């Protein structure tokens, strides 16, 4: 699509080729002169330490080459001995330098030699020299005596001149000291080492000091916005809080998965309050030189205090705020000094400072407890992945300015994207727009949305010549096994899509879609997830009796679920409701955290994990054996259509034989069981949740 363009401004000197090139009335040239005067122009280039370093090195190398280019030309030892023995009459004078094992010859005529490889003749001149080894000393002296040069010969010791001594011994140290002084002065003046970071990078004022982001731009996180509303009110009007003796939190910690909008929320607080927003990443404080990170913390807080009321935002604070003493070797490193300085600065606030510290992290569990105590980051706000309504609101925000076909349903897209963060949803709509633009479409349609969701979930479709037919059939049975087991189990989500089109690193995939947002899972749901994960491997075993490596990721998932059921959730009657394994497997940076259970317990954990996985494998095996005809029909249609949607899958699974319900599980069989059912959900709650009523 061509874009209409306005009239082109004349290039050069106002369009007149006869005007002088330096016309001061030409705004383009004035702008170029102004740009050259800036940091990127010639003057800025001349201030670059890299350029000066290169110039110094080139000057030293050139000086050494000039000095080494003077004096006699060096020839091979064999050629020098040949001159003394075969061309002795041509030797005018000889000098043996004993301490360098060097023979200098002054000849009557130029010494020339032909290179045997190139065939070219080289003229070495009348002054030549060659070197010899210690073992050749007596032989060289005899050869010189026998040659009997016309002007005689001498033996001497080479003396190093003062200039040579300075160049070889003192000058390198002077250059190193000069560079070190230059670098330290640059760091002290705020430009950082080699002009890359320093005090000038201690804090950045964004968008003209006050961000334009508002709470209306933070969709899908109403609970988090409500938690930080009073921060905005305090910065705008602190008097009503001070009148009641209230103290606003000095620090707010935003934590949650990546892409949920923590940085956006922090900017929105500053934008709503109309105060400057200082943003810096936690990794910017950690440097190689001890003390530089602490200096940056002081500079950042000093600058923010000058512009108070203000907000300081530290992204990824876990880079500098990890628990002290967990570093390699336990030393007092630069990160700990920086953390100590941050704690000191936060303690220096009073009720009149009007300075709020906001930090964001994905790992609040690894932060130092001193950061989280009251008086520092005393308010912690969870910014989680949005629920169904939140996803729909986020989609509405990112859909602004994008042309869609009339039948696009953002609510349906939100239903199909459980677990997606705000960044994921923005990526879905952006990918859909890119796909439509790639084929020249004017509107974003449902097919583009479907493909975009698949790309975000599983990666782009691989454009290859295709798999071998046997491998394609193997993949169809593998994915069909997953889908069949999921459809036959009683606690799994509906199967919405099965495909054998390769995406990312996967040869195919099966999609199960939750019907509602969940925040916890039951024991039976986890058992079903393991059986579903083992469905692909089981189908390969039953059909081909020769499983492939394609099930490695499924086995990994099943094993991970089983290990968490045993070690974290207490879902076994042999080990009880005891947490044996940390949820994040955090072993500290040094990896030396002691195990808190015995070898016998470790063996029991391994046995229970193996038992859970084997039980899931057996359940999947029985389901596939009971529904082999349905599996074969599913594979036939997959090989023809390559992708089956939810409607087609429902037709295939219409006569499926469901798996039997599991027996009631008790953590201890010796405890009495209760037959009383749970209380019913009140009708008022059903109405508010939109559930069907009896």
Q: Is the pLDDT of residue 195 over 50?
A: no
Give residues with Cβ within 8 angstroms of 296, minimum separation 6. Answer: 199, 201, 202, 284, 285, 287, 338
pLDDT at 368: 85
Minimum mean pLDDT among 196-205, 320-329, 450-459, 535-544: which range?
196-205
Residue 482 assigned ligand-binding role = yes
Structure letter (DSSP) for residue 546: S
* 60-92 residues labelled b (16+ CB within 10 A) or e (exposed): eeeeeeeeeeeebeebebeebbebbeeeeebbb
Residue 282 assigned ligand-binding role = no
SS3 label, residue 436: helix
Q: 607 and 556 in contact (C-beta within 8 Å)? A: no
CA distance 657 to 484: 10
∠ CA(473), CA(478), CA(482), 5° rounding?
145
Average pLDDT on 117-129 reads 85
User: What's the pLDDT band for 165 if we cut at 50, 70, 90?
Assistant: low
Length of the chain: 694
pLDDT at 609: 95
Average pLDDT on 555-562 reads 96
Give φ, ψ of 141 to 5 degrees.
Answer: -60, -40
Residue 398 assigned ligand-binding role = no
Which has more pLDDT, 71 or 232?
Answer: 232
- To the query of whether residue 479 is one of the catalytic residues in this protein, the response is yes
Which has more pLDDT, 693 or 139?
Answer: 139
pLDDT tens, residue by residue, 244-279: 887 777 889 999 999 888 999 999 988 888 888 888
H helical segments located in 489-572: 523-533, 535-544, 552-567
Residue 262 assigned ligand-binding role = yes
Q: Is the pLDDT of residue 519 over 60?
A: yes
Residue 554 assigned ligand-binding role = yes
Most confident of 92-96, 111-115, 315-319, 540-544: 540-544
How far is C-alpha 287 from the chain's CA centre?
Answer: 18
pLDDT tens, residue by residue, 348-381: 666 666 788 899 999 888 888 888 888 788 888 9
**Could you give all domains of the chain from N- to C-terminal order, each with its CATH number?**
73-162 (3.30.720.210), 215-324+332-382 (3.40.50.300), 391-458 (1.10.8.60), 469-582+596-653 (1.20.58.760)
pLDDT at 617: 97
Q: Is the pLDDT of residue 31 over 50?
A: no
Say which of 345, 393, 479, 541 is annotated catalytic. Answer: 479
User: How many percent of the chain have pLDDT more than 90?
Assistant: 27
pLDDT at 19: 36
> Could you tell me if residue 380 is left (phi over 0), alpha (psi between -120 and 50 degrees) or otherwise beta?
beta
Q: Is the pLDDT of residue 27 over 50?
A: no
Q: Is the pLDDT of residue 57 over 50?
A: yes
Do β-strands 277-281 and 204-205 pair in parallel, antiparallel, or remain unpaired? antiparallel
User: What's the pLDDT band for 134 if we cut at 50, 70, 90?
Assistant: confident
Reference 391, options 366, 423, 365; nearest CA is 423
How far is C-alpha 590 from the chain's CA centre?
Answer: 22
User: How many percent of the chain have pLDDT more than 70?
Assistant: 78
CA distance 330 to 321: 15
Residue 263 assigned ligand-binding role = yes
pLDDT at 166: 64
pLDDT at 606: 94
Helices (H) and strands (E) in the chain, counts: 26, 14
Q: Is the pLDDT of residue 40 over 70?
A: no
Q: Is the pLDDT of residue 586 over 70?
A: no
SS3 label, residue 605: helix
pLDDT tens, residue by residue, 92-122: 899 888 878 888 899 888 888 887 777 788 8
User: What's the pLDDT band for 196 if we cut at 50, 70, 90?
Assistant: very low
Most confident of 14-18, 170-174, 356-360, 626-630: 626-630
pLDDT tens, residue by residue, 413-451: 998 888 899 999 999 999 999 999 999 989 999 999 999
Reference 492, options 483, 502, 479, 500; nearest CA is 483
Q: Is the pLDDT of residue 464 over 60?
A: no
User: What's the pLDDT band for 657 if we cut at 50, 70, 90?
Assistant: very high
Full DSSP string of 283-331: GGG--SSTTHHHHHHHHHHHHHHHT-SEEEEEESTHHHHBPTT-SGGG-
Which has more pLDDT, 143 or 183?
Answer: 143
pLDDT at 559: 96
Q: Is the pLDDT of residue 467 over 80?
A: no
pLDDT tens, residue by residue, 65-97: 655 555 688 898 888 898 888 888 888 899 888
Cis peptide bond N-terminal to 556, omega within 30: no
Which has more pLDDT, 616 or 592?
Answer: 616
CA distance 323 to 319: 10
Q: 285 and 338 in contact (C-beta within 8 Å)? A: yes
Q: 377 and 251 in contact (C-beta within 8 Å)? A: yes
CA distance 557 to 37: 60
pLDDT at 33: 42
Residue 535 assigned ligand-binding role = no
Which has more pLDDT, 191 or 133?
Answer: 133
């Amino acid at each position: 699509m061509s874009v209409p363009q306005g009239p082109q401004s004349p290039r050069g000197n106002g369009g007149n080729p006869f005007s002088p090139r330096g016309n001061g009335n030409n705004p383009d040239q004035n702008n170029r002169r102004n740009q050259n005067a800036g940091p990127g122009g010639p003057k800025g280039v001349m201030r670059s330490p890299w350029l000066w370093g290169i110039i110094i090195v080139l000057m030293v190398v050139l000086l050494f080459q000039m000095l080494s280019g003077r004096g006699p030309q060096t020839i091979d030892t064999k050629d020098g001995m040949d001159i003394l023995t075969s061309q002795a009459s041509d030797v005018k004078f000889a000098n043996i330098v004993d301490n360098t094992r060097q023979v200098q010859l002054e000849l009557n005529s130029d010494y020339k030699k032909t290179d045997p490889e190139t065939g070219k003749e080289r003229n070495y001149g009348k002054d030549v020299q060659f070197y010899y080894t210690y073992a050749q000393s007596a032989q060289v002296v005899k050869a010189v005596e026998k040659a009997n040069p016309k002007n005689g010969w001498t033996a001497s010791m080479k003396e190093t001149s003062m200039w040579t001594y300075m160049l070889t011994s003192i000058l390198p140290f002077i250059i190193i000291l000069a560079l070190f002084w230059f670098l330290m002065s640059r760091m002290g003046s705020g430009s950082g080492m080699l002009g890359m970071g320093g005090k000038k990078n201690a804090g950045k004022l964004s968008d003209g000091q006050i961000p334009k982001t508002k709470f209306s731009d933070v969709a899908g996180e109403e609970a988090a916005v409500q938690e930080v509303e009073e921060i905005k009110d305090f910065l705008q009007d602190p008097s009503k809080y001070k009148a009641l003796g209230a103290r606003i939190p000095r620090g707010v910690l935003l934590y949650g998965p990546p892409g949920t909008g923590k940085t956006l929320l922090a900017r929105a607080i500053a934008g709503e309050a109309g105060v400057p927003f200082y943003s810096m990443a936690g990794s910017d404080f950690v440097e190689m030189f001890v003390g530089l990170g602490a200096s940056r913390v002081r500079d950042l807080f000093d600058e923010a205090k000058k512009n108070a009321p203000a907000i300081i935002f530290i992204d990824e604070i876990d880079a500098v705020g990890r628990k002290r003493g967990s570093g390699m070797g336990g030393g007092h490193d630069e990160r700990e000094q920086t953390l100590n300085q941050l704690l000191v600065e936060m303690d220096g606030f009073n009720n009149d400072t009007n300075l709020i510290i906001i930090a964001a992290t994905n790992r609040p569990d690894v932060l130092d407890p001193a950061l989280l105590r009251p008086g520092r980051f005393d308010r912690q706000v969870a910014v989680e992945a949005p629920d169904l309504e939140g996803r729909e609101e986020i989609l509405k925000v990112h859909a602004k300015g994008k042309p869609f076909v009339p039948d696009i349903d953002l609510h349906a897209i939100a239903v199909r994207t459980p677990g997606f963060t705000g960044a994921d949803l923005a990526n879905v709509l952006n990918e859909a727009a890119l796909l439509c633009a790639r084929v020249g479409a004017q509107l974003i349609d449902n097919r583009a949305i479907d493909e975009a969701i698949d790309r975000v979930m599983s990666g782009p479709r691989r454009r290859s010549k295709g798999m071998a037919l046997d491998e394609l059939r193997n993949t169809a049975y593998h994915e069909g096994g997953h889908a069949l087991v999921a459809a036959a189990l009683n606690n799994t989500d509906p199967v919405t899509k099965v495909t054998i089109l390769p995406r990312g690193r996967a040869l195919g995939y099966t999609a199960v879609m939750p019907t509602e947002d969940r925040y916890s899972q039951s024991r039976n749901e986890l058992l079903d997830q393991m059986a579903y994960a083992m469905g692909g491997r089981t189908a390969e075993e039953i059909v081909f009796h020769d499983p492939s490596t394609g099930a490695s990721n499924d086995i990994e998932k099943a094993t991970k679920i089983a290990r968490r059921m045993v070690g974290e959730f207490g879902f076994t009657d042999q080990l009880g409701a005891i947490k044996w394994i940390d949820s994040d497997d955090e072993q500290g940076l040094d990896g030396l955290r002691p195990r808190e259970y015995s070898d016998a317990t470790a063996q029991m954990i391994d046995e229970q994990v193996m038992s859970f996985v084997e039980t899931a494998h057996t359940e999947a095996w029985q389901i596939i054996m009971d529904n082999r005809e349905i599996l074969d029909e599913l594979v036939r249609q997959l090989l023809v259509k390559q992708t089956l949607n939810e409607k087609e899958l429902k037709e295939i699974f219409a006569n499926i034989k469901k798996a039997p319900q599991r027996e009631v599980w008790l953590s201890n069989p010796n405890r009495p069981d209760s037959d009383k059912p749970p209380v019913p959900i009140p009708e008022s709650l059903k109405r508010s949740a939109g559930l069907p009523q009896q």
